[in-house]
Amino acid sequence: MAPPLLRLDQIKLTFGGTPLLEDAALSVGEGERIALVGRNGSGKSTLLKIAAGIVEPTSGEVFRHPGATIRYLAQAPDMDGFADVHAYVEAGLGPADDPYRVTYLLEHLGLTGQEKPGQLSGGEARRAALARVLAPQPDILLLDEPTNHLDLTTIEWLEDELRQIRSALVVISHDRRFLENVSRSTIWLDRGVTRRLEQGFGHFEEWRDKILEEEERDLHKLGRQIVREEHWLRYGVTARRKRNMRRLGELQAMRNEFRTHRRAQGTAVLAASDSKESGKLVIEAKGLAKSYDGRVLVKDFSTRIMRGDRVGLVGPNGAGKTTLLSMLTGMLPPDEGTLRLGVNLEMAVLDQKRESLNPDETLAHYLTDGRGENVVVNGEQRHVVSYMKDFLFQPEQARTPIRELSGGEKARLMLARVLARPANLLILDEPTNDLDMETLDLLQELVTGFAGTVILVSHDRDFLDRTVTSVIAPEGDGRWLEYAGGYADMMAQRREMALTKREVKASGSRGSSQAETAAPEPKREEKRKLSYKQKFALETLPGKIEALAAEIAALEKKLADPELYAKNPDLFAKTAGELEKKREAHAAMEEEWLELEMLREEMEG
């Protein structure tokens, strides 16, 4: 096995209190694809900075192969001293690198290269930094939140780009679908310690949950053992004094272990404040249109949004999502068309622009609007510190200026303020930015369980698939269409529509060609039939699907054994891998059967 290009071992880093990193490790070999995951504030970005040589650890071993090139994507790039974006990106190239890569990457990331660094938005600066690290195709890419500020089209392009390059990857991201698509190994940083799973992120959450369950079980056993030892020392035989002193020492050690054990960080408590029920009709739009400087952003758009609907808006940056959202909520008048809002609407809005936060304002002042020490949630007064704890803030942070918060903490703070407002219509513009996956899960539960109506803008495909009942997407030239279901459903419907158009076009082309050469009398179209192979598959697939489902159930039962991982980790990993393959095969068979069944119905109908 080839030696690693980068290795961190027994890394410790402390700033005076509880160590941020206690026993962290990272090993990156040629061509490896690693997802680095963990809660906000767990030290992921810091570990990546240690790997890049930007931060020095308190102790531990750091090895970088002398011939390896490493590029690091920071969350806040420094572009001082460069005349324009093209010069900044070009400076990342080595002597043997292809300068055409700069133009190619800037074009796909929506930049011309002529932009001035001082005039860039946060998202544009981030895309320029991404182009700079990708341009030289280094041996190792260290990417900290590469999908932030990217639209869905660009995220999918980035996935393809990362799949094609030879570089090894270590990626931090809160985009589940992105991590599933680019990773082959997963490193979990939790309470200062790393654990490694030799499978992609798609297998991580189940693995993590098993580890946490085992830890809680072991801690419970330790607690019971302490109780038993205390009882023996008080009431047991005391003749063998020496043995008693040894057991007393062991008891003290167990007490210390139990007391100092760092439990897993708690989860945020997200709950929207209740409001009176809105009318059944929430929004009715007819023929909405909006243009800016001659550019049509929305043209002839109509929709009806009813109480309980959860609508997602997707599309490239600049397509007009925010414009359409503003018109639908009555905040922006349309150039044409009519808008009718339902009765009893109480709206709560989460704006994506965190720049609007006053950096000098304290957390407590922001949550209470400066009105004392209490915040009203669901009609009840709660002390602001108590409410902050629901969103994983510490009591001492109440007087902390907002400028000292991380991106994830700012996201949670804005959520805390929005969810305290009574509402039956939630407007969420990029609510998933900078949230860790555990908080994302809770936000997902809140959105799906919300009794009112939700309209959200998001580039997170997994979040959309889990939450929305329909998706509104741009089709070009200002046209927007609404699709039933989530993002994956929208893509499937688009593929089906494109296929139908191609078939109609091909049919029309054949018809014109035949009209030129054949007699004017039209021929009756012959009824199409399934081929023998398609018929055989249609008849045999249900039995295969059922048999495979039984095999999957047996493997799931085997993995459900809580002792399996502890007794035989290799067997556990082998079984989990086999289960994943069978699930994929099962899904593929069901998809094939469904397509054949639809084809049969179409031919018979």
The tens digit of pLDDT for each residue in 136-153 reads 989 999 999 998 878 888
- Rounded Cα gap, residues 8 and 423, in angstroms: 49
Q: What is the pLDDT of residue 184?
A: 95
> Which of the residue ranges 129-133, 153-157, 255-259, 505-509 would you say has the lowest mean pLDDT?
255-259
Tell me if 69 sits within 8 A of 134, measured CB to CB: no
- Flag whether 132 is marked binding: no
Q: What is the pLDDT of residue 257?
A: 58
Mean pLDDT, residues 277-299: 89
Amino acid at 123: G
Q: Would you place residue 103 in the very low, low, confident or very high pLDDT band (cuts 50, 70, 90)?
A: very high
- Rounded Cα gap, residues 34 and 7, in angstroms: 13
Which comes out higher in pLDDT, residue 265 or 451?
451
- Flag whether 316 is marked binding: yes
Tell me if 255 sits within 8 A of 229, measured CB to CB: no
Looking at the predicted structure, is the pLDDT value of residue 490 above 70?
Answer: yes
Q: Would you place residue 242 in the very low, low, confident or very high pLDDT band (cuts 50, 70, 90)?
A: very low
Listed residue (102, 90, 70) closest to 167, CA to CA: 70
CA distances from residue 495 to 315, 490, 502 in whole angstroms, order as listed: 16, 9, 11
Q: Tell me the pLDDT tens digit for each residue of 374-403.
A: 887 777 788 888 888 888 788 888 888 888
Q: What is the pLDDT of residue 288?
A: 95
Mean pLDDT, residues 394-421: 82
Looking at the predicted structure, is the pLDDT value of residue 6 above 80?
Answer: yes
Q: What is the pLDDT of residue 125?
A: 87
> Which of the residue ranges 69-78, 340-349, 525-534 would you say has the lowest mean pLDDT?
525-534
- Flag whether 40 is marked binding: yes
Tell me if 399 sits within 8 A of 253, measured CB to CB: no
Which comes out higher in pLDDT, residue 247 or 500?
500
Looking at the predicted structure, is the pLDDT value of residue 524 above 60?
Answer: no
The beta strands (E) that lie in 240-294 are given as 281-292
Tell me if 490 sits within 8 A of 471, measured CB to CB: yes
Mean pLDDT, residues 305-309: 91
Q: Tell me the pLDDT tens digit for each residue of 437-447.
A: 777 887 888 88
- Flag whether 321 is marked binding: yes
Looking at the predicted structure, is the pLDDT value of residue 234 above 60?
Answer: no
Q: Which CATH architecture has domain 526-604?
A: Orthogonal Bundle (1.10)
Q: Tell me the pLDDT tens digit for each residue of 262-271.
A: 545 555 565 6
- Flag whether 547 is marked binding: no
Tell me if 5 sits within 8 A of 168, measured CB to CB: yes
Tell me if 583 sits within 8 A of 548, measured CB to CB: no
Looking at the predicted structure, is the pLDDT value of residue 472 above 90?
Answer: yes
- Flag whether 44 is marked binding: yes
Which comes out higher in pLDDT, residue 535 or 17?
535
If you average pLDDT over every residue of the chain, what do you get? 82
Looking at the predicted structure, is the pLDDT value of residue 60 above 50?
Answer: yes
Q: Would you place residue 255 in the very low, low, confident or very high pLDDT band (cuts 50, 70, 90)?
A: low
- Give the domain 6-206 fold: Rossmann fold (3.40.50)
Among 166-180, 246-260, 417-431, 548-562, top mean pLDDT goes to 166-180
Mean pLDDT, residues 237-251: 52
Looking at the predicted structure, is the pLDDT value of residue 17 above 90?
Answer: no
- Flag whether 568 is marked binding: no
- Flag whether 43 is marked binding: yes
Tell me if 476 sits within 8 A of 494, measured CB to CB: no
- Flag whether 42 is marked binding: yes
Looking at the predicted structure, is the pLDDT value of residue 246 above 70?
Answer: no
Which comes out higher in pLDDT, residue 590 or 154?
154
Looking at the predicted structure, is the pLDDT value of residue 121 above 80?
Answer: no
CB count within 10 Å of CB 278 equals 23
- Rounded Cα gap, residues 228 and 251, in angstroms: 10
Q: Would you place residue 7 in the very low, low, confident or very high pLDDT band (cuts 50, 70, 90)?
A: very high
Per-position b or e across 282-305, b if 16+ CB within 10 A of its CB: bbbbeebbbeeeeeebbbebebeb
- Flag whether 407 is marked binding: no
- Flag whether 122 is marked binding: no
Looking at the predicted structure, is the pLDDT value of residue 336 above 90?
Answer: yes
Q: Would you place residue 70 in the very low, low, confident or very high pLDDT band (cuts 50, 70, 90)?
A: very high
Tell me if 145 sits within 8 A of 158, measured CB to CB: no
CA distances from residue 87 to 184, 225, 382, 534 in whole angstroms, order as listed: 34, 65, 53, 57
Mean pLDDT, residues 86-97: 90
The H helix count followed by the E strand count for the chain is: 18, 20
Which comes out higher in pLDDT, residue 353 or 308?
308
Q: Tell me the pLDDT tens digit for each residue of 338-372.
A: 999 988 888 888 876 655 678 889 988 988 888 88
Q: What percent of the chain has pLDDT over 70?
A: 84
- Flag whether 529 is marked binding: no
